[in-house]
Every structure is written in structure tokens, then in C-alpha cells.
Amino acid sequence: MASASPSSFKAARMEQFPRCLRRTPAILPQKLNLSQSQSWRWRWNSSACTTAARSNNNAPHPSNSIPVPVVAPSRSASASRVKRHTISVFVGDESGIINRIAGVISRRGYNIESLAVGLNKDKALFTIVVSGTEKVLQQVVEQLNKLVHVWKVEDLSREPQVERELMLVKLHADPSTRAEIMWLVDIFRAKTVDISENLLTIEVTASMRHLFLQSLLL
Amino acid sequence: MAATHAAAAANLTFSFKCSYHPSPFLSPKPPTNQDFPLHFPAKSNPSPLRIISSAISKPQSPTTTTSSITPAGTHDTFISRFAVDEPRKGSDVLVEALEREGVTTVFAYPGGASMEIHQALTRSTIIRNVLPRHEQGGVFAAEGYARASGRPGVCIATSGPGATNLVSGLADALLDSIPIVAITGQVPRRMIGTDAFQETPIVEVTRSITKHNYLVLDVEDIPRVVREAFYLASSGRPGPVLIDIPKDIQQQLVVPNWNQPIRLPGYVARLPKLPDEKHLEQIVRLVSEAKKPVLYVGGGCLNSSEELRRLVELTGIPVASTLMGLGAYPCNDDLSLQMLGMHGTVYANYAVDKCDLLLAFGVRFDDRVTGKLEAFASRAKIVHIDIDAAEIGKNKQPHVSVCADMKPALEGMNKLLEERGNKLKLDFSAWRQELQEQKVKHPLTFKTFGDAIPPQYAIKVLDELTDGNAIISTGVGQHQMWAAQFYKYKRPRQWLTSGGLGAMGFGLPAAMGAVVARPDAVVVDIDGDGSFIMNVQELATINVENLPVKIMLLNNQHLGMVVQWEDRFYKANRAHTYLGNPSKESEIFPNMLKFAEACGIPAARVTKKEELREAIQKMLDTPGPYLLDVIVPHQEHVLPMIPSGGAFSDTINEGDGRSQF
């Protein structure tokens, strides 16, 4: 809903696990968040800033250990809050690599929310969404780094991102309802990609929370 | 040809040179095949039983032991049995690849899918096979070999059940970071996935219990895969690597290309670099500011025992060791607090509890050491140096951390301390005095009842008679804890035990592997009756291969450690922990001496305390393998004990099975 107020976007974003995501028949969610996330971070300033500050103050990253002021590490509330993190893993291809990566994460008891793989001739890029606290994410990144064929692991949730979700909806649409459906499709700037006698296939691309359409259609 | 090291470096697709930053305080070393060569005691390779036809391979062995794990030298000067373009079977290529890595002994048990490899081994003049009687014995023996020598141990098994019998050993090697290369046969490629005879997807099964594993699908890959496997097993944080080779590839004829570079760019780039001097300076500064520092050392320090000793000499900081780190600092020294943790000494746990600076070197803050994490070293600043970045901050968040190999880190710190020692004026004598009082107040003790042999006393006598120089391997349980407490280890790689996994049946096969690795050392397996009988079949091996393993069996007819927990926490309710014969409780069952007799090994039993010393001396004096069955009471408890999840204040230091709880 392009005309929806910004506050409803924020409200949707503030939900940790929006319901629309669970019902999404998305095929390969490509998550790239727009600058909305930056403004979101400013609104949530206190907790976000504490998180950033804390991660600089501690010495969790030994490979680039900045000499650390010797202070006992404090766990702020944000550090133990469960968040969704997006990790990108770049690997050299090998048979069974998907299994390996999924195995590393689940062996430690962490949950993969979604996994997307892009394959090149002999390299692959995984985009994994894991939910957990900062500490969990740190462990996941370190364990993935231990895998032999992994070239690089990055935590994308810290960067400004553009995130999109693609939804393909197949609807039962006989001639009587078709017109209404196509009017709705127009409003949401979705596209009709296929029509048959009583089936209609619609494609919607939007940033994640923009999926009121589905609830309306169903 | 160019210098062997340079040639080896050029072989790698990603040059090491850009990732190697020679620090100003270390004399630059030529880049080797890996950044961090393992150093081991200067014991020579065991001479193989077969006559070595090529004189080249002998002098290569010392190179292997002192400089790098994958000896670049062997690759260039190796003389092959085959002509350069003579096609040979994949199994011959595999065996030659092992020879090129400097392997002289394997622990292989044949089967349908690995027969070709065994046939090829008979054609090898360099590699000797020690035939275990169970694949688990083979993989534990490979572990004992690796733990005692520092070189990767090699074991070979067939497909299906043979491969699955390796699982315990691989899990143990992963948890304790031991370099092992396990090779398994597999059904032919066209039959993979069809539930063929003796087929198991061992790569899938062992994915999470190995550092890395390979399924070879092309015979041309064998030289590269073997090279990569050895490199992975021994570099960075060591671990087990499994290579699965289908039978048709073993039989396929090929002309191998020995010059294939290894393809591990990401891994090599992520190997820890040399520690930054700034961080080491910070650590030295913390040491100078501390009043009560403690060194908490573990398995990561086993290769840097000299540097650790020098550090303690320069600073005077007392040393508490984990189970895996015993021997890194000599246990009979004044500054050694011996073991800490659940069954560690009271003074070691006291020191860690009261310290204000905890130097955690080569440890992973395991739950057996820390107990309740919040209460562990709660007053201290924590400095954590480890080669594995994932361990840092995993359990306990350190204040200063360095991800590096211990050897260069300790060398750097020693250099800094030598430069500034006079200015720093480190004096921890008050702290050491405090700990000395604790040592006097709460020493490790045991009680004697009549003429029954206290198991702790048996180990003490063994310590005296071997002068603390024997290699000790153990099973798991009470005898393991007593062997850790009462035997004073002076050097690293003397103490072989299953720490992280706690696999019973580890003792005897590991002792076998240790004898193969260090034939001139006295090797004693301190075992319990439960653990011994799990791999008793290896008695046959030690007789036939003439491996002089001395087995001191602390026989209490029970599963001791579980009995202890039953006594303390379950009101002495015996739940399947009696290992004797319930209908004839006064007899020793099973009669272990008969097992030894069946395998042609001399054996004796001792029940009285007065006869013990003589019996142990006889065991040590008799050449060849020997079994000594020491009957001990089952009411003994391992003390002190901190129950799991407990803090130092929960230490239990009294009582045994004779009292009520």
C-alpha cells in the first residue's frame, strides 16, 4: 500500500515475526532493505546505539582485536534480544555444501529461517536468515568461518540494505471475479503474468511488509 | 630445482607470502607449507619393520619431525617405486601419496571395499600396517600415535560397518583437536546410493564429527586430496579428516600427477596470523598490574612447552592445567597447581576463583573446568589466546583476546618480558605464598583401609617407579581422574586420554599407537575394568606385533565413576553398574588374566598393598606386553569434586562409598 502512513510501516517492522511472512509462498526471497532501515535505526536509537557501542567496546572479534579498554563486558538488553540476522556466505562449490552449511548451523542448535543459494560455475553465494541474539550470530559466523570451503562470511544485517520480496500468487478466478481482481492488481502495481480459463497468476514485488494484498485476496 | 620450501610455496594457488607478516620481534622464517609447523620432542621416527629400499626416505623423517608436517622435501626428492609414466592402480597412488606425506605406520583393518588398499600396502616398503582387531581399536590407536608424536595418525577401514566403527574415534579426535586422517573404502561409484552391500554414506554420517571430509570421485584427485587432508589435519586447529574412496577408483589405472597444488584458498587465508605486538604488550601490561595472576593452560599449549616454561620463569605466575594440558608445564614443579576443574585440586580451583588476572592459553572454557560460568573467575580479567576464533567468547567473554598460535604468542611475550623485566619488577610472592598455604591445607589425599590397595596409591607407586617419565594412557572414569591427579607429568605428550568425548575403551589401543610412535618409551595403560573390556580384543594385536604395552588394570568390579555419582546423588541405588557376576560376588569376574593368557601375554594379579610395589616393578621389568590386575575397593571416590554446574564454593572434599549421603 503505497499510500499507507509511514507509521504503519514502522509498526509492521517493529513486529519481530510478522504474520504475512509466515504465510508467504515466496520462492526465493531476496532481502535487500532500503533506507527505511536506516530511519528505523534512528528511531530505535537508544538500543541500537548501545548495541553498536557494546560491540566496539568488547573484544568479540579476535582477528581484528583493537586494544580494548579493560572493562568487564556488560550485557545490555539489546544484546540478548532475539533478532533476525541476514548472513551472506560465499563458498567455493563442492558437492554437499548446502548440507554442510545447514548442518553447521543446526548442529549448534540455531534455527535457519530461510536460505537462498545462487550458483555460479564453481562458486555459490548463500543468503541465510538466522534468528537469534547477537551472541548466537557471532557463533554462527565463527562456525561458518571454520568450514574449509567457505571463502567469506558477512553479516548483512548491520549494513544499510535494500530488501525485496517476490510473491507469485495463483488464484482461482472465473470471469465474474476476474475484473475485480485485476483492479486490485492494478492498485498494488502488481503484474498479471498468466491467465487461463479459471486461473490467474499474479506477481508482486515489494519490500517485506508490503503484503496486505495477500490477505485481501484470500 | 629451487629450494624445497619455495617450491612448495609456489605450489599453492594462494601465495602464503602475502598473509605472512614477519613481526619485528621474531626472526623471519622462510614460508613453509603451512604457517604453524608443529614441533615435537626430538624422538626419531620408529624404524619400519620392512627394509627400506630407498635410502632417501630415512633422512626425510628427521625433516618431518622438526620442520613441517607436509614435508616439502619428500615431494621433491621422493623416489617412487613406479616409473614416471607407468600407469598404476588408484590404491597404489593412494599408498604412494601416504608415503610422500611421511607416513610410516597405518592402522588398517581390511574388508571388501578396502582390499585393494591392503594389497597396495603389501607392495609398499615404507609403510608398516599394525593390524588392530576392531576398527575402533584402529582409530584409537591412530589417535594414540598422533597424541604421542604430534604427527597425523592414519587409520584405514572398509565401507559400511568398518566405516561406522570409526565414528567414536573421529568424534573424539574432533573434540580433542587431534590430527587424524581416516581412509575408508566405499562401494563402486555406480552403486552409491543404491543401498548396496556394506554401503553407508559415511561422508554424510561424519560430516559434523570431522574437520573436513572427502568423497573421491575422480582417480586423478587422489594426490591432491591426500595432500589437502594431511594439511587440514595438522594446520590451524588440528582435527580429523576422512577420505572416502570408492572401490572402482581404487582399481582404476592412472598415471598420477604429483604436482597438483592444494585448493584451499579460503581456509589458508583465514589461518590465524602472527599475534600483533600491540596485543602482547597489552597483555604484559596487564600482568604487571595484576596482583594475583593465574595461568590456565590446556591442550593448545602442548607444542609450546618450552616457551611456557620460560614465561613462568620470567614472571613467576602459578600454572593450573586442564585435563588435556597436563604435562605442558611439569606437574612436579612448585609453581604447578596441577589440574583444575571438576576433579581438580582445591588449590587450583581456589587460585582461579580468587585471581584477578586469568591468562587462558590454548583452552576452551569447557564446562568440566568452569562449572557455573558466571561464578568462574568472577573477580578476574580474562585474557584468552587461542588458535580457533570460534572458541574465543564462546563460553566466557574475555577482556583481551588474541587469535593466534600459542608458540609465536608465547615467544613474543617472552621477548617483551625479557626486554622490560627489570623495569616491571614482577613480584607475586605473596600470592604464591597464599597458594602454598592452600596446598598444605588441602593436598590431594587418600585413605588406606587394611591391606586393600588404594587405587591412588597404586598410581603413586607407578609414578615413583617410572620416575614420572612413562607415557600413560587411560580409559575413562575414576581411574582416569586418579591418573590425572596422582601421576606427575613432566613433559607434554606423555598423557593420552579421551578428554572431550570421554570414550571408554580408549586406553589399550591408544597405548598401542603410542608404542608405535615412541618405541623407546615406557608406555603404561592405566585402565579400569569397564574400559578395558571394551577393547580387550587388542590384546591380540599387542602380542602379535610385539608392542610392549604395560597394562595396569584398576579392577573394582564396578563402573566406578557412575557408582560415585550414584552414591552422592542417587542414594547409592545401583543401576546396572556392577560389572561382576552377581551370583558369585566374591569372585573376580571376568578373570582378566585368562584374557591375557588367551592372547599369550604374561599377567599377574595383586590384591595386597605390601605386594604392590614388587608387582609393579615386575611389570615394568618384564620385556614385552604385560597385564597387571590390581584389585581395588569400589567404595573409593574421586575427590575433590565440584558437582556439575557448581561453583568453587560447592567443592566436596570428603566422604566415599562407605558413608551415607
Report how far residue B617's alpha carbon sits from residue B626's, in angstroms, rounded to the nearest whole number: 11
- CB nearest to A138's CB, from B215, B279, B393: B393
Nearest Cα residue to B617 out of B465, B494, B442: B465
Query: What pLDDT is stored for residue A76 in this prediction?
Result: 54
Determine, for residues B399 and A73 on separate chains, whether the beta-carbon distance falls below 8 Å.
yes
Residue B565, Cβ neighbours under 10 Å: how many?
15
pLDDT > 70: what percent of chain B? 89
Q: Is B356 exposed, middle or buried (0-12, 13-18, 19+ CB in 10 A)?
A: middle
Residues B80 and B96: beta-carbon distance below 8 Å: yes
B528 vs B477: CA distance, rounded Å: 8
DSSP code per residue over A140-194:
HHHHHHHSTTEEEEEEGGGS----BEEEEEEEE--HHHHHHHHHHHHHTT-EEEE
Mutation for testing the A interface, residue in B212, B235, B365 having most A CBs under 10 Å: B212
Q: Is the pLDDT of residue A47 over 80?
A: no
pLDDT tens for each residue of B388-399: 999 999 999 999
> Among partner residues A68, A91, A139, which is closest to B399 by beta-carbon distance?
A68
Q: Mark yes or no for CB contact A65/B276 under 8 Å.
A: yes
How sure is the predictor about B435, in pLDDT bands with cuts at 50, 70 and 90?
very high
Cβ-defined contact of A70 to B399 (cutoff 8 Å)? yes
B434 band by pLDDT with thresholds 50, 70 and 90: very high
Interface test with B, best of A58, A61, A66, A70 (most B CBs within 10 A): A70
Catalytic residue among B89, B211, B247, B415: B247
Check residue B4 and give its pLDDT: 43
A56 vs A131, more confident? A131
For residue A135, what pLDDT band results from cuts at 50, 70 and 90? confident
Transcribe B133-173 into DSSP letters. Answer: SSHHHHHHHHHHHHHHHSSPEEEEE-STHHHHTTHHHHHHH
A148·B267 Cβ contact <8 A: yes
C-beta atoms of A148 and B211 within 8 A? yes
* 76-105 of A, contacting B, C-beta below 8 A: 91-92, 95-96, 99-100, 103-104
Does residue B515 have a pLDDT over 80?
yes
Q: Which residue among A92, A139, A149 sits closest to B390, beta carbon to beta carbon?
A: A139
Residue A10 pLDDT greater than 60, yes or no: no
> Confidence class of residue B86 from pLDDT cuts 50, 70 and 90?
very high
Q: For residue A146, report the phi and psi dihedrals to the nearest 5 degrees.
A: -75, -20
Is residue B197 among the annotated active site residues? yes
Residue in B197, B449, B569, B661 annotated catalytic? B197
Contact B266 A60 (CB under 8 A): no
Would you state the pLDDT for residue B44?
A: 41
User: How many angstroms from the chain centroid is the CA of residue B316?
Assistant: 28
Q: Which three cell numbers stand for residue B122?
A: 603389501
pLDDT classification of A186: cutoffs 50, 70, 90: confident
Cα B11 from Cα A71, distance rounded (Å): 46
- Of the candidates A67, A72, A152, which has its C-beta nearest B282's C-beta? A67
**Mean pLDDT (whole number) for A8-12:** 44
Nearest-neighbour CA in chain A from B86: distance (Å): 31
Out of B264, B389, B390, closest to residue A148 by CB: B264
Check pLDDT > 80 for residue B27: no
How far apart, in whole angstroms, are the C-alpha atoms of residue B170 and residue B202? 12
- Compare all CA atoms of chain A with the CA of B276 and give the residue at the minimum distance: A65
Q: Treating both helix axes as pointing N-terminal to C-terminal, what angle do B277-289 and B406-424 enclose, rounded to 10 degrees?
A: 50
Residue B626 has what DSSP assignment? E
Q: How far is B527 from chain A (nearest CA, A)?
A: 33
Interior/surface letters A78-96, b for 16+ CB within 10 angstroms, e for the rest: bbeeeebbbbbbebbebee
Task: Report the chain B residue with the minimal C-alpha distance to residue A135.
Answer: B394
pLDDT, tens digit, 9 for 90 and up, residues A51-65: 333 333 333 444 444
Q: What average pLDDT does this structure show over B16-26?
A: 41
Q: Letter for the amino acid at B108?
A: A
**Catalytic residue selected from B198, B260, B436, B635:** B198
Q: Is the sign of the CA dihedral B481, B173, B389, A60 positive or negative? A: negative
State the CB neighbour count (10 A cutoff) for residue A22. Answer: 8
- By the 8 A CB rule, do B157 and B114 touch? yes
A106 in B contact zone (CB under 8 Å) = no
Q: What is the mean pLDDT of residues A193-200?
A: 88
Q: How confident is the model at residue A77 (pLDDT cuts 50, 70, 90)?
A: low
Q: Which residues of A touch B398 (CB under 8 A)?
A: 59
**CA-based angle B383:B385:B390, to the nearest 5?**
110
Q: What is the mean pLDDT of residues B36-54?
A: 40
Chain A's closest residue to B267, CA to CA, is A148
- Cβ separation A92–B392 shorter than 8 A: no
> Which helix or strand (DSSP H or E) is residue B123 part of?
helix B115-123
B278-295 average pLDDT score: 95
- Is B135 noted as a catalytic residue in this protein? yes
pLDDT in tens, B535-576: 999 999 999 999 999 999 999 999 999 999 999 999 999 999
Binning pLDDT at 50, 70 and 90, where does residue A42 land? very low
pLDDT at A52: 35
pLDDT at position B10 is 40
Contact A59 B398 (CB under 8 A): yes
Give yes or no for a contact between B384 and B360, defined as CB atoms under 8 angstroms apart: yes
Q: Which residues in chain A have Cβ-Cβ distances shorter than 8 Å to B204?
A: 96, 99
Q: Sheet harboring B180-186: ordered strands across? A: B128-129, B105-108, B153-157, B180-186, B240-246, B212-215
pLDDT interval class at A190 (50, 70, 90): confident
Beta strand extents in B44-197 (DSSP E only): 88-89, 105-108, 128-129, 153-157, 180-186
B620-644 mean pLDDT: 95
Q: Which residue of A has its CA nearest to B379?
A: A72
pLDDT at A7 over 70: no
Instruction: Please report the pLDDT score of residue B293 as a whole number.
Output: 96
Looking at CA atoms only, how far is residue A13 from chain B in angstroms?
A: 30
User: d(Cα A90, Cα B270) in Å, to the nearest integer?
Assistant: 14
* CB contacts, 8 Å: A143 with chain B: 390
Least CB–CB distance from B397: residue in A65, A73, A95: A73
Tell me how far apart the alpha carbons of residues B223 and B231 are, in angstroms, rounded to a whole number: 12
Q: What is the mean pLDDT of residues B211-232?
A: 96
With contact defined as beta carbons under 8 Å apart, do B473 and B497 qualify? Answer: yes
Assess whether B198 carries a catalytic annotation: yes
Q: Which of B231, B234, B403 to mutate to test the interface with A (most CBs of A within 10 A)?
A: B403
Q: List the grid coordinates of B556.
A: 573394582
Judged by average pLDDT, the poorest of A10-24, B228-242, B295-309, B639-653 is A10-24
pLDDT at B12: 40
Strands A83-92, A150-155: parallel, antiparallel or unpaired by DSSP?
antiparallel
Backbone φ and ψ for B270, nearest 5 degrees, come out as -95, 0
Mutate to test the interface with A, among B401, B402, B405, B406 (most CBs of A within 10 A): B401
Q: What is the pLDDT of residues B145-185, one digit of tens each?
A: 999 999 999 999 999 999 999 999 999 999 999 999 999 99
- Pick the residue from chain B with its C-alpha nearest to A100: B207
Cis omega before residue B640 (within 30°)?
yes
Percentage of chain A lying above the pLDDT 70 cut: 58
SS3 A10: helix
Residue in chain A lying closest to B210 (CA): A147
Disruptive mutation site among B192, B203, B208, B263 for chain A (greatest number of A CBs within 10 Å): B208
Closest residue to A67, CB basis, from B279, B389, B394: B279
**Inter-chain Cβ pairs, chain A and chain B, closer than 8 A:** 86
Smallest Cα distance from B495 to chain A, Å: 28
Residue carrying the nine cell digits 561458518: A144
Instruction: Please report the DSSP string for B454-508 in residue order.
Output: PHHHHHHHHHHHHTT-SEEEE-SSHHHHHHHHHS---STTSEE---SS--TT-HH
B540-B546-B550-B553 Cα dihedral, nearest 10 degrees: 0
Distance CA B75, CA B371 (A): 48
Per residue in B470-511, pLDDT (tens digit) is 999 999 999 999 999 999 999 999 999 999 999 999 999 999
Task: Return residues 52-81 of A near B (CB < 8 Å).
Answer: 58-60, 62-63, 65, 67-68, 70-73
Query: Can you read off the three cell numbers belonging to residue B272?
Result: 590465524
State ipTM: 0.79
Looking up cell 617412487, which residue turns up?
B80
Of B208, B386, B403, the CB nearest to A103: B208
Q: Prior bond to B41 cis, omega within 30?
A: no
Q: How many CB atoms lie within 10 A of CB B238?
A: 25
Residue B619's SS3 state is: helix
CB contact under 8 A, A107 and B208: yes
pLDDT band at residue B222 under the 50/70/90 scheme = very high
Sheet with A199-206, side-by-side order of all strands: A165-172, A199-206, A191-195
Best A90, A139, A146 residue to mutate vs chain B (most B CBs within 10 Å): A146
Q: Enumerate residues 6+ apart whose C-beta is below 8 A from B157.
A: B108, B109, B111, B114, B135, B138, B139, B163, B165, B166, B182, B183, B184, B185
**pLDDT value of position A211:** 57
B207/A73 touch (CB, cutoff 8 Å), yes or no? no
The structure's pTM equals 0.82
**Catalytic residue, candidates B96, B101, B135, B636:** B135
pLDDT tier for residue B60 given thresholds of 50, 70 and 90: very low
Tell me, rounded to whole angstroms, the distance of Cα B311 from its chain centroid.
24
Instruction: State whether residue B594 is helix, strand or coil.
Output: helix
Residue B32, pLDDT above cutoff 80:
no
Q: How far is A207 from chain B (nearest CA, A)?
A: 34
What's residue B75's pLDDT? Answer: 59
Average pLDDT, integer, range B51-77? 43
Catalytic: which of B324, B534, B561, B641? B561
Kindly tell me if the per-residue pLDDT of B55 is higher than 70.
Answer: no
* B73 CB-contact burial (10 Å; exposed 0-12 / middle 13-18 / buried 19+): buried
Per CB-CB distance under 8 Å, the chain A contacts of B399 are 59, 68, 70-73
C-alpha cell at B137: 581399536
